[in-house]
Amino acid sequence: MATNTSNFSTNTQVNSYYMEKGSYLRMKSLEIGYTIPESVMSKIKLSSLRVYVQALNLFTATKYSGLDPELGGDDRAFGSDTGNYPLVKTYVFGLNLNF
């Protein structure tokens, strides 16, 4: 649709000019842990001990040029990139200790 205004979406109407492939591969969660055997724990009078490391949003493999290929939105904007921020990488270290 031709208009006399210069905006990217042709007068706020959705069009196919800016469409691109949005396929991606993402590792959202990875947890690695070790439970120390009960024979070792009984010597120090503990029931159990588990040590773990967890990583969230470790990587995203995509050729998508936007910030985040995982598009959200409601039924009016479904499939449109509205500028979602990329997911933040998070690293968690933890201990599960039972007496």
Distances (CA, A) of 40 to 6, 37, 48, 78: 72, 6, 9, 54
What are the residue boundaries of the structural domains of the chain, listed by start? Answer: 24-98
pLDDT in tens, 2-33: 555 555 555 566 667 778 888 999 999 999 99
Digit-coded pLDDT (tens) for 41-91? 888 888 899 999 999 999 999 998 888 888 766 666 667 777 778 889 999
